[in-house]
Structure 1
Amino acid sequence: MNMEWLNTYLLSYGFIALFIVVLLEYMNLPGFPSGVIMPLGGLWIYNNNLSFTQGLLVTVAAGLVGSWILYFIGRIGGDLLLKKYLKKFPKQQNTITKSIQTLKKHGNWAIFTSKLLPVTRTLMPIPAGAIKLDFINYTIYSTLGILVWNYGFMSIGYYFGDIALSIVN
Protein backbone atom coordinates (compact mmCIF):
# COMPACT_ATOMS: atom_id res chain seq x y z
CA MET A 1 0.00 0.00 0.00
CA ASN A 2 1.40 3.42 -0.89
CA MET A 3 0.24 6.96 -0.10
CA GLU A 4 -0.81 7.72 -3.66
CA TRP A 5 -3.06 4.66 -3.73
CA LEU A 6 -4.53 5.57 -0.34
CA ASN A 7 -5.25 9.14 -1.43
CA THR A 8 -6.97 7.90 -4.62
CA TYR A 9 -9.01 5.45 -2.54
CA LEU A 10 -10.09 8.24 -0.16
CA LEU A 11 -11.04 10.50 -3.06
CA SER A 12 -13.06 7.75 -4.74
CA TYR A 13 -14.92 6.37 -1.74
CA GLY A 14 -14.90 9.18 0.83
CA PHE A 15 -15.67 8.56 4.48
CA ILE A 16 -16.42 4.88 3.80
CA ALA A 17 -12.83 4.43 2.65
CA LEU A 18 -11.54 6.32 5.68
CA PHE A 19 -13.64 4.06 7.93
CA ILE A 20 -12.31 0.87 6.30
CA VAL A 21 -8.66 1.93 6.35
CA VAL A 22 -8.84 3.00 10.01
CA LEU A 23 -10.79 -0.16 10.95
CA LEU A 24 -8.09 -2.35 9.43
CA GLU A 25 -5.36 -0.37 11.17
CA TYR A 26 -7.08 -0.74 14.55
CA MET A 27 -7.32 -4.48 13.94
CA ASN A 28 -3.52 -4.46 13.61
CA LEU A 29 -3.63 -5.60 10.01
CA PRO A 30 -0.73 -4.81 7.70
CA GLY A 31 -0.72 -1.46 6.04
CA PHE A 32 0.05 2.06 7.06
CA PRO A 33 0.52 2.88 10.72
CA SER A 34 -1.91 5.29 12.34
CA GLY A 35 0.77 7.98 12.36
CA VAL A 36 0.45 8.06 8.56
CA ILE A 37 -3.25 7.27 8.12
CA MET A 38 -4.64 9.87 10.53
CA PRO A 39 -2.67 12.89 9.28
CA LEU A 40 -3.43 11.90 5.68
CA GLY A 41 -7.11 11.60 6.61
CA GLY A 42 -7.00 15.07 8.18
CA LEU A 43 -5.30 16.52 5.10
CA TRP A 44 -7.82 14.80 2.81
CA ILE A 45 -10.71 16.27 4.86
CA TYR A 46 -9.16 19.74 4.72
CA ASN A 47 -8.39 19.62 0.98
CA ASN A 48 -11.93 18.48 0.16
CA ASN A 49 -13.67 21.02 2.44
CA LEU A 50 -15.26 18.27 4.51
CA SER A 51 -16.25 18.39 8.16
CA PHE A 52 -13.36 17.67 10.51
CA THR A 53 -15.85 16.66 13.21
CA GLN A 54 -17.58 14.21 10.89
CA GLY A 55 -14.24 12.73 9.81
CA LEU A 56 -13.12 12.42 13.43
CA LEU A 57 -16.36 10.65 14.37
CA VAL A 58 -15.92 8.25 11.44
CA THR A 59 -12.38 7.38 12.55
CA VAL A 60 -13.39 6.97 16.19
CA ALA A 61 -16.23 4.66 15.15
CA ALA A 62 -13.84 2.65 12.97
CA GLY A 63 -11.27 2.42 15.76
CA LEU A 64 -13.92 1.32 18.21
CA VAL A 65 -15.33 -1.35 15.89
CA GLY A 66 -11.81 -2.67 15.26
CA SER A 67 -11.14 -2.73 19.01
CA TRP A 68 -14.46 -4.50 19.64
CA ILE A 69 -13.63 -7.18 17.08
CA LEU A 70 -10.30 -7.90 18.78
CA TYR A 71 -11.90 -7.72 22.24
CA PHE A 72 -14.48 -10.36 21.28
CA ILE A 73 -11.83 -12.53 19.65
CA GLY A 74 -10.07 -12.41 23.01
CA ARG A 75 -13.28 -12.98 24.95
CA ILE A 76 -14.33 -15.99 22.88
CA GLY A 77 -11.00 -17.64 22.19
CA GLY A 78 -8.40 -15.59 24.00
CA ASP A 79 -7.05 -18.30 26.27
CA LEU A 80 -6.55 -20.67 23.35
CA LEU A 81 -5.08 -17.92 21.15
CA LEU A 82 -2.67 -16.79 23.85
CA LYS A 83 -1.53 -20.37 24.50
CA LYS A 84 -0.92 -20.98 20.78
CA TYR A 85 0.84 -17.64 20.42
CA LEU A 86 3.10 -18.31 23.39
CA LYS A 87 3.86 -21.79 22.12
CA LYS A 88 5.02 -20.25 18.84
CA PHE A 89 6.72 -17.24 20.47
CA PRO A 90 7.77 -18.29 23.99
CA LYS A 91 9.98 -15.21 24.43
CA GLN A 92 6.80 -13.11 24.51
CA GLN A 93 5.64 -14.74 27.78
CA ASN A 94 6.82 -11.80 29.90
CA THR A 95 5.16 -9.23 27.68
CA ILE A 96 1.82 -11.08 27.68
CA THR A 97 1.99 -11.69 31.43
CA LYS A 98 2.76 -8.02 32.11
CA SER A 99 -0.10 -6.93 29.83
CA ILE A 100 -2.58 -9.14 31.65
CA GLN A 101 -1.30 -8.05 35.07
CA THR A 102 -1.57 -4.39 34.04
CA LEU A 103 -5.12 -4.93 32.80
CA LYS A 104 -6.13 -6.73 35.99
CA LYS A 105 -4.56 -4.07 38.21
CA HIS A 106 -5.49 -0.89 36.32
CA GLY A 107 -8.37 -2.08 34.09
CA ASN A 108 -10.07 0.93 32.56
CA TRP A 109 -7.09 3.26 32.84
CA ALA A 110 -4.86 0.64 31.24
CA ILE A 111 -7.25 0.52 28.29
CA PHE A 112 -7.36 4.32 28.01
CA THR A 113 -3.58 4.74 28.15
CA SER A 114 -2.97 1.78 25.84
CA LYS A 115 -4.95 3.62 23.13
CA LEU A 116 -2.40 6.43 23.37
CA LEU A 117 0.65 4.23 22.80
CA PRO A 118 1.82 3.00 19.41
CA VAL A 119 1.58 -0.78 18.94
CA THR A 120 0.15 -1.33 22.43
CA ARG A 121 -3.14 0.29 21.41
CA THR A 122 -3.86 -2.44 18.88
CA LEU A 123 -2.52 -5.32 21.00
CA MET A 124 -4.37 -4.81 24.31
CA PRO A 125 -7.93 -5.66 23.17
CA ILE A 126 -7.32 -9.42 22.92
CA PRO A 127 -5.93 -9.79 26.47
CA ALA A 128 -8.70 -7.43 27.68
CA GLY A 129 -11.29 -9.76 26.18
CA ALA A 130 -9.47 -12.85 27.43
CA ILE A 131 -9.65 -11.66 31.04
CA LYS A 132 -13.23 -10.53 30.42
CA LEU A 133 -12.94 -6.87 31.31
CA ASP A 134 -16.37 -5.28 31.58
CA PHE A 135 -17.46 -4.53 28.01
CA ILE A 136 -19.24 -1.23 28.77
CA ASN A 137 -16.23 0.16 30.65
CA TYR A 138 -13.93 -1.21 27.95
CA THR A 139 -16.00 0.66 25.35
CA ILE A 140 -16.04 3.94 27.29
CA TYR A 141 -12.31 4.02 27.99
CA SER A 142 -11.41 2.77 24.51
CA THR A 143 -13.57 5.50 22.96
CA LEU A 144 -11.91 8.20 25.04
CA GLY A 145 -8.41 6.97 24.18
CA ILE A 146 -9.24 6.54 20.49
CA LEU A 147 -10.75 10.03 20.41
CA VAL A 148 -7.62 11.62 21.89
CA TRP A 149 -5.27 9.66 19.60
CA ASN A 150 -7.25 10.22 16.40
CA TYR A 151 -7.89 13.89 17.15
CA GLY A 152 -4.20 14.53 17.73
CA PHE A 153 -3.00 12.86 14.56
CA MET A 154 -5.86 14.02 12.31
CA SER A 155 -5.31 17.59 13.50
CA ILE A 156 -1.72 17.44 12.31
CA GLY A 157 -2.87 16.66 8.77
CA TYR A 158 -5.84 19.03 8.89
CA TYR A 159 -4.01 22.07 10.26
CA PHE A 160 -0.45 21.54 9.03
CA GLY A 161 -0.76 19.27 6.00
CA ASP A 162 -0.74 22.07 3.44
CA ILE A 163 2.41 23.50 5.01
CA ALA A 164 4.14 20.11 4.79
CA LEU A 165 3.01 19.64 1.18
CA SER A 166 4.26 23.09 0.17
CA ILE A 167 7.68 22.30 1.68
CA VAL A 168 7.85 18.94 -0.13
CA ASN A 169 6.71 20.40 -3.45
Structure 2
Amino acid sequence: MTDFILNLIAAGGYLGIFALMVIENVFPPIPSEVIMGLGGIAVARGDMSLPLLIAWATAGSTLGNLFWYWIGRRIGYERFRPFIERHGRWLTVDWPEAERLQRFFVRHGQWVVFVFRFMPTGRTLISLPAGLTYMPLRRFVLWTFLGSTIWNSVLAWAGLYFGSNFERLQHYVGPAAIAITATLLLSYLWRVVTWRPRG
Protein backbone atom coordinates (compact mmCIF):
# COMPACT_ATOMS: atom_id res chain seq x y z
CA MET A 1 0.00 0.00 0.00
CA THR A 2 2.83 2.39 0.84
CA ASP A 3 4.49 1.73 -2.52
CA PHE A 4 1.18 2.36 -4.29
CA ILE A 5 0.78 5.74 -2.58
CA LEU A 6 4.38 6.73 -3.26
CA ASN A 7 3.98 5.79 -6.93
CA LEU A 8 0.74 7.76 -7.21
CA ILE A 9 2.34 10.78 -5.56
CA ALA A 10 5.34 10.52 -7.86
CA ALA A 11 3.15 10.15 -10.96
CA GLY A 12 0.42 12.64 -10.06
CA GLY A 13 2.24 15.10 -7.84
CA TYR A 14 -0.15 17.50 -6.14
CA LEU A 15 -3.10 16.18 -8.15
CA GLY A 16 -2.24 12.70 -6.86
CA ILE A 17 -2.37 14.02 -3.28
CA PHE A 18 -5.68 15.75 -4.05
CA ALA A 19 -7.19 12.57 -5.52
CA LEU A 20 -6.01 10.41 -2.61
CA MET A 21 -7.49 12.79 -0.06
CA VAL A 22 -10.82 12.88 -1.90
CA ILE A 23 -10.90 9.07 -2.01
CA GLU A 24 -9.83 8.79 1.64
CA ASN A 25 -12.80 10.90 2.73
CA VAL A 26 -15.38 9.25 0.46
CA PHE A 27 -14.28 5.68 1.11
CA PRO A 28 -11.35 5.54 3.52
CA PRO A 29 -9.16 2.60 2.42
CA ILE A 30 -6.00 4.67 2.90
CA PRO A 31 -5.67 6.76 6.08
CA SER A 32 -4.73 10.41 5.73
CA GLU A 33 -1.94 9.80 8.24
CA VAL A 34 -0.18 7.69 5.62
CA ILE A 35 -0.95 9.98 2.67
CA MET A 36 0.22 13.17 4.39
CA GLY A 37 3.13 11.46 6.11
CA LEU A 38 4.46 10.28 2.78
CA GLY A 39 3.73 13.70 1.33
CA GLY A 40 5.90 15.17 4.08
CA ILE A 41 8.66 12.76 3.10
CA ALA A 42 8.34 14.02 -0.49
CA VAL A 43 8.83 17.54 0.87
CA ALA A 44 11.92 16.39 2.79
CA ARG A 45 13.32 14.97 -0.45
CA GLY A 46 12.71 18.24 -2.28
CA ASP A 47 10.00 16.79 -4.53
CA MET A 48 7.20 18.98 -3.18
CA SER A 49 6.51 22.33 -1.54
CA LEU A 50 5.03 22.09 1.96
CA PRO A 51 2.46 24.93 1.51
CA LEU A 52 1.27 23.51 -1.82
CA LEU A 53 1.10 19.99 -0.37
CA ILE A 54 -1.12 21.21 2.48
CA ALA A 55 -3.28 23.33 0.16
CA TRP A 56 -3.98 20.52 -2.31
CA ALA A 57 -4.55 17.97 0.46
CA THR A 58 -6.99 20.26 2.27
CA ALA A 59 -8.88 20.93 -0.96
CA GLY A 60 -9.20 17.17 -1.44
CA SER A 61 -10.33 16.64 2.15
CA THR A 62 -12.98 19.33 1.86
CA LEU A 63 -14.33 18.00 -1.44
CA GLY A 64 -14.41 14.42 -0.14
CA ASN A 65 -16.36 15.46 2.96
CA LEU A 66 -18.90 17.29 0.82
CA PHE A 67 -19.87 13.91 -0.64
CA TRP A 68 -21.27 12.65 2.70
CA TYR A 69 -22.66 16.06 3.60
CA TRP A 70 -24.80 16.12 0.44
CA ILE A 71 -26.02 12.56 1.03
CA GLY A 72 -27.15 13.55 4.51
CA ARG A 73 -28.76 16.75 3.25
CA ARG A 74 -30.68 14.87 0.55
CA ILE A 75 -32.04 12.41 3.13
CA GLY A 76 -32.79 14.74 6.05
CA TYR A 77 -33.01 13.53 9.62
CA GLU A 78 -36.85 13.38 9.61
CA ARG A 79 -36.79 10.31 7.37
CA PHE A 80 -34.94 8.39 10.07
CA ARG A 81 -37.86 8.45 12.51
CA PRO A 82 -39.31 5.00 11.56
CA PHE A 83 -35.81 3.52 11.57
CA ILE A 84 -34.98 5.05 14.97
CA GLU A 85 -38.29 3.93 16.48
CA ARG A 86 -37.65 0.38 15.28
CA HIS A 87 -33.91 0.11 16.03
CA GLY A 88 -33.47 2.61 18.86
CA ARG A 89 -31.95 -0.05 21.10
CA TRP A 90 -28.90 -0.46 18.85
CA LEU A 91 -28.68 3.21 18.03
CA THR A 92 -29.15 4.00 21.76
CA VAL A 93 -31.34 6.89 20.67
CA ASP A 94 -35.10 7.42 20.78
CA TRP A 95 -36.88 10.00 18.65
CA PRO A 96 -37.11 12.78 21.31
CA GLU A 97 -33.38 12.38 21.91
CA ALA A 98 -32.75 12.48 18.14
CA GLU A 99 -34.61 15.78 17.98
CA ARG A 100 -32.51 17.17 20.85
CA LEU A 101 -29.34 16.08 19.07
CA GLN A 102 -30.59 17.80 15.93
CA ARG A 103 -31.16 21.05 17.82
CA PHE A 104 -27.73 20.77 19.43
CA PHE A 105 -26.09 20.26 16.04
CA VAL A 106 -27.93 23.28 14.62
CA ARG A 107 -26.53 25.45 17.43
CA HIS A 108 -23.05 23.98 17.88
CA GLY A 109 -22.43 21.83 14.80
CA GLN A 110 -19.52 23.93 13.58
CA TRP A 111 -17.47 23.07 16.68
CA VAL A 112 -18.35 19.38 16.38
CA VAL A 113 -17.26 19.32 12.74
CA PHE A 114 -14.06 21.22 13.56
CA VAL A 115 -13.05 18.98 16.48
CA PHE A 116 -13.82 15.76 14.59
CA ARG A 117 -11.33 16.73 11.89
CA PHE A 118 -8.60 15.72 14.37
CA MET A 119 -10.13 12.33 15.21
CA PRO A 120 -8.53 9.19 13.70
CA THR A 121 -12.04 7.71 13.65
CA GLY A 122 -15.22 9.55 12.73
CA ARG A 123 -13.40 12.27 10.81
CA THR A 124 -15.39 11.51 7.66
CA LEU A 125 -18.62 10.22 9.21
CA ILE A 126 -19.31 13.50 11.03
CA SER A 127 -20.16 15.02 7.63
CA LEU A 128 -23.28 12.84 7.43
CA PRO A 129 -25.06 14.26 10.52
CA ALA A 130 -23.97 17.74 9.42
CA GLY A 131 -25.96 17.19 6.24
CA LEU A 132 -28.82 15.38 7.97
CA THR A 133 -29.38 18.38 10.27
CA TYR A 134 -29.14 20.86 7.36
CA MET A 135 -26.04 22.60 8.65
CA PRO A 136 -25.51 25.65 6.39
CA LEU A 137 -23.17 24.78 3.54
CA ARG A 138 -20.88 27.78 4.02
CA ARG A 139 -20.45 27.01 7.72
CA PHE A 140 -19.74 23.35 7.00
CA VAL A 141 -17.16 24.13 4.32
CA LEU A 142 -15.46 26.79 6.48
CA TRP A 143 -15.02 24.60 9.56
CA THR A 144 -14.14 21.52 7.52
CA PHE A 145 -11.50 23.52 5.67
CA LEU A 146 -10.03 25.02 8.87
CA GLY A 147 -9.92 21.71 10.73
CA SER A 148 -8.52 19.84 7.75
CA THR A 149 -5.84 22.48 7.22
CA ILE A 150 -4.57 22.07 10.79
CA TRP A 151 -4.75 18.26 10.70
CA ASN A 152 -3.02 17.98 7.33
CA SER A 153 -0.35 20.45 8.42
CA VAL A 154 0.45 18.41 11.52
CA LEU A 155 0.71 15.20 9.51
CA ALA A 156 2.82 16.79 6.78
CA TRP A 157 5.21 18.31 9.34
CA ALA A 158 5.45 14.92 11.05
CA GLY A 159 6.36 13.26 7.74
CA LEU A 160 8.87 16.01 7.06
CA TYR A 161 10.39 15.61 10.52
CA PHE A 162 10.65 11.84 10.44
CA GLY A 163 11.88 11.87 6.85
CA SER A 164 12.66 8.42 5.56
CA ASN A 165 11.96 6.86 8.96
CA PHE A 166 8.20 7.08 8.48
CA GLU A 167 7.74 3.80 10.34
CA ARG A 168 8.52 5.71 13.55
CA LEU A 169 5.49 7.90 12.94
CA GLN A 170 3.31 4.86 12.33
CA HIS A 171 4.67 3.37 15.55
CA TYR A 172 2.89 6.14 17.49
CA VAL A 173 -0.10 6.91 15.27
CA GLY A 174 -1.21 3.29 14.87
CA PRO A 175 -1.53 2.45 18.59
CA ALA A 176 -3.18 5.82 19.28
CA ALA A 177 -5.81 5.19 16.61
CA ILE A 178 -6.43 1.66 17.96
CA ALA A 179 -6.77 2.96 21.52
CA ILE A 180 -9.28 5.63 20.51
CA THR A 181 -11.29 3.16 18.41
CA ALA A 182 -11.35 0.63 21.27
CA THR A 183 -12.50 3.32 23.71
CA LEU A 184 -15.32 4.39 21.41
CA LEU A 185 -16.39 0.77 20.86
CA LEU A 186 -16.45 0.00 24.59
CA SER A 187 -18.37 3.22 25.25
CA TYR A 188 -20.94 2.22 22.65
CA LEU A 189 -21.33 -1.30 24.09
CA TRP A 190 -21.77 0.13 27.58
CA ARG A 191 -24.45 2.50 26.30
CA VAL A 192 -26.28 -0.34 24.53
CA VAL A 193 -26.35 -2.41 27.73
CA THR A 194 -27.45 0.46 30.00
CA TRP A 195 -29.70 2.42 27.62
CA ARG A 196 -33.42 2.63 28.30
CA PRO A 197 -35.88 4.50 26.09
CA ARG A 198 -37.56 7.49 27.77
CA GLY A 199 -41.14 6.71 28.67
TM-score bracket for this pair, using the shorter chain length: 0.7 to 0.9
Aligned to 2:19: 20
| Alpha-carbon distance in structure 2 between the residues aligned to 1:66 and 1:40 | 20
Would you say 1:114 and 2:113 are equivalent positions? no
Aligned to 2:147: 145
| Alpha-carbon distance in structure 2 between the residues aligned to 1:147 and 1:100 | 27
Aligned to 2:7: 8
Assess if the C-alpha contact under 8 Å between 1:43 and 1:162 holds in 2. Answer: yes
Assess if the C-alpha contact under 8 Å between 1:103 and 1:128 holds in 2. Answer: yes
Residues 34 and 8 of structure 1: CA distance in aligned 2, closer, same or farther (over 3 Å): same
Deviation at 1:160, TM superposition (A): 1.9
Question: What TM-score, normalized to structure 1?
Answer: 0.81
User: Which consecutive unaligned segments of at least 5 residues does structure 2 have?
Assistant: 169-199
| Alpha-carbon distance in structure 2 between the residues aligned to 1:130 and 1:160 | 40
Structure 1 runs of 4+ aligned residues shifted over 4 Å read: 80-90, 96-102, 163-166
**RCO higher in 1 or 2 (8 Å CA, sep ≥ 6)?**
1
Secondary structure of the structure 1 residue equivalent to 2:29: coil
| Alpha-carbon distance in structure 2 between the residues aligned to 1:61 and 1:136 | 15
Residues 142 and 106 of structure 1: CA distance in aligned 2, closer, same or farther (over 3 Å): same
Between structure 1 and structure 2, the one with the greater Rg is: 2
Please report the RMSD computed on the Cα atoms of aligned residues, expressed in angstroms: 2.8
Deviation at 1:161, TM superposition (A): 1.9
| Alpha-carbon distance in structure 1 between the residues aligned to 2:39 and 2:61 | 14
State, as a whole percentage, how many aligned pairs show the same letter: 24
Question: What TM-score, normalized to structure 2?
Answer: 0.70
Instruction: Give the residue type in structure 2 aligned to 1:20.
Output: A
User: Which consecutive unaligned segments of at least 5 residues does structure 1 have?
Assistant: none
Paired residues in the alignment total 163
